[in-house]
Structures are given as C-alpha cells and as structure tokens.
Structure 1
Amino acid sequence: MITYQTMSPDQVSKLQEIDRSEHIDLIYEMNNGELIERGMNHQCPNWNEELLREIQERFLFEIDHGGTALGAFDGDRLVGFGVLAHKFRGRDKDQLQIDLMYVTSDYRRRGIGTQIMKTLSNEAFKRGARFLYISSTETRSAVSFYTHNGSRIAEEIDKELFDKEPKDIHMIKKL
C-alpha cells in the first residue's frame, strides 16, 4: 500500500532510492509554440553521483525556503516524490513551480505521480497560486504525464527557468 507524506530535510538521503532510468523513444522540441516530435532511441540511466547531489541540493533549497516536498512510500521505501517550489512566478506572481517530480521505474503507471501532482496542486492553491508552472523534460513520458494531468503549453515562458533548461517543455496548469 502506497502512503503519502510531506518530506523533511532529514529525508534527503531517501532520494537515492528513486530509479529514474527509462527508455526514451521520443522527445519534443518547441518550434514557434508548436510541439515537434523527434524520434529517439536512448536509455536514460539512473542517477550518477553529481546528478543525485544536484537533485538533493534543489530538494533542500526549496524546503529551506518554504517549498514543500511530498513523498510516496511503499513501507519505508521512497517510490516517488514531487517538490513544489517556494517562489511565485509569472507576470501576476500567481504561479508556483513543480520543481522536481519522479516516480521510480518499477512503480510508474500506478497513479502515484498523479496523486503527488493533485496534492501539490492543492497545496499551491492554498498558498494563493492560480497556476502551476512546469518546466518538463522533453521526453514523451514527462510531457504526456503533465498533459494528462491538465497542463498545457505555457504562452508566457519563465526566462529564469528557460535559461536553466532551454530544451525543457514549459507548461502551465490552471488550479
């Protein structure tokens, strides 16, 4: 049985329990506001030390600055997590970002990510956000997940996030 709970900074080492690996068969690129499909045949590996450290630092930064992390657990094992960033974004400062979202490979397509997204959406709404901002990896699995959960391509692109991840697909979800 999967349980969901707010995560604390002392649980940062649990992030290494996530296996982010996946086979990527298709990616998207943005071209004049349109998604363009590109075939791909790539195996995305699990975390390396550097990437895990970067993810852990982002996790801690957001929690330390007022963001929220939600974990999905199967017993003691972390099988998914999402992080709602602390900083309001957008022209009207009415958007909060989903900064991190991962479900471990052997637990995908069970509704775990959707439950995390719903819970973080509710938290963002309670904090006064009208939208979620998502800077999604360009993979079919990620873009399809966010689309399935009510997101659409953002008309207004957050420059700071674009500069960090120019290949990401920038999306917005009305709360």
Structure 2
Amino acid sequence: MGASMEYKRLEREDLGGVADLDRQERIDVIYEQRGVDLHERPGSWNSPGWDPHGTHDHSVAAQRQALEHYVDAGGIALGALADGRLVGIGVVVPHVRPEIAQLAFLHVDAAFRATGIGRRLSDELDCIARDAGATQIVVSATPSQNTVRFYLARGYVVTDRPLPELYELEPEDVHLRKAL
C-alpha cells in the first residue's frame, strides 16, 4: 500500500476511529455450522459499510459501543494505523473464563485486507491473551468464507461447544477455538 504502518494499543478515547474503517465486503459464500461441520451456502450476502448515522447493529455507533463494552470489561484493543489513520482494529478479552480468552473484535479496512494486518493483529492479541494466562482463545466469526478461512489458517478449529453466552448472542456465526 505504500503507507507507513504503526501498531499500537488503543485507549478508550481512540475507539471512535472505528468510523474510519470501510467494512464493505463481497460475500458469495457463507457457512452454516452443524456441530463441527461447515456447509457452504452460495448466494449474495454482500456487506455494506457501517451506517454513520444510525444506531442499529451495523452502525458506527453500535460498533463503538461494542468496543467500549469490551474495553470496559478488561479487553485490550490494538490498532493498525496507516499514516496515522486507523485501518485495522482488534480486541481481546483475556478472561471470559479461567484460562479462556475471547477474540472479541477484528476488522480490517477493505482497502487493506490481504496485506497481513489482520494476521499481525491476531498474532499480537494471541500473545496478550497468553501473557494474561489464557491457554485457549475463542471467536464467534461472521460465517463468510473469507472470515472463516482466515481463522482456520490462524490455527482455529470449529467447536461444537461454544461458550453459551457467545452462541446466544450470535447463533448463526461460526464458533471456533484455538489452543494458545
């Protein structure tokens, strides 16, 4: 991309930068999880950008509120900045259960995907979780093919035993876990 990249821990007041992320994505395949098996469903589930004005689930306000919730619950937010602009953000909550961390949020701007930013954020969040005493990390992943393949390539495996509160919040997500 030619941009100067910086990775740093974000403070609560930095979380509003999520508004700068373009989350648009073309999605031609999603997965349905049945136990530990994934079943492909072709179609068109394209994801638009976050609504800058509304307050519904896919709005900037809701994303900022979610990030603040995770940080207030002890989560650590990391940002990837290109020439000072937030282009990726990830949050790990180190202690959702004894020895279990949650990768609670990971988004990379559409123009910066497939450049290693997501991998770097994921790796650094794994280290934070491990340093905090976690031996596993869980994630409820958007069931898009790109997202699920990303996590599988990072060493996650599909689990048929997701944390009940995560499953209740997002039953259509693909639930994964990884040993740290």
2:35 touches 2:160 (CA, 8 Å); kept in 1?
no
TM-score by length of 1: 0.94
In the alignment, what sits opposite 2:179? Answer: 174
1:21 touches 1:43 (CA, 8 Å); kept in 2?
yes
2:102 touches 2:138 (CA, 8 Å); kept in 1?
yes
- Please say if 1:159 is aligned against 2:164: yes
Higher strand share: 1
Give me the whole-angstrom Cα distance separating, in 1, the residues matched to 2:66 and 2:45.
26
- The superposition leaves residues 10-41 of structure 1 with CA deviations (integer Å, 9 ceiling, x where unpaired) of 11221100000000010000123210000022
Give me the whole-angstrom Cα distance separating, in 2, the residues matched to 1:163 and 1:26.
23
Matched residues, number:
172
Partner residue of 2:142 out of 132, 137, 144:
137
In the alignment, what sits opposite 2:126? Answer: 121
TM-score by length of 2: 0.92
In structure 2, stretches of 5+ residues that fail to align are none
**Equivalent residue runs for 1:74-89 within 5 Å:** 74-89=82-97
Instruction: Name the Cα RMSD after superposition.
Output: 1.1
- Please say if 1:57 is aligned against 2:74: no
In structure 1, stretches of 5+ residues that fail to align are none
1:132 touches 1:173 (CA, 8 Å); kept in 2?
yes
- Please say if 1:109 is aligned against 2:106: no
1:65 touches 1:86 (CA, 8 Å); kept in 2?
no
